[in-house]
Amino acid sequence: MSIDFVMSIANEAVKVTLLLSAPMLIVGLIIGLVISIFQAVTQVQEMTLTFVPKIIGVMVALIIALPWMINVIITYTQNLFNSIPLYIR
CB count in 10 Å sphere of residue 27 = 20
Average pLDDT over residues 77-82: 92
φ, ψ (nearest 5 deg) of residue 14 = -65, -40
Q: Where are the domains of the chain?
A: 3-87
What is the chain's percent helix, strand, coil content, to nearest 5?
90, 0, 10
Whole-number Å distance between alpha carbons of 66 and 72: 10
Rounded to the nearest integer, the mean pLDDT of the chain is 90
CB count in 10 Å sphere of residue 61 = 19
State pLDDT tens for residues 29-69: 999 999 989 988 988 888 788 889 999 999 999 999 999 99
Whether the pLDDT of residue 89 is over 80: the answer is no
pLDDT at 6: 84
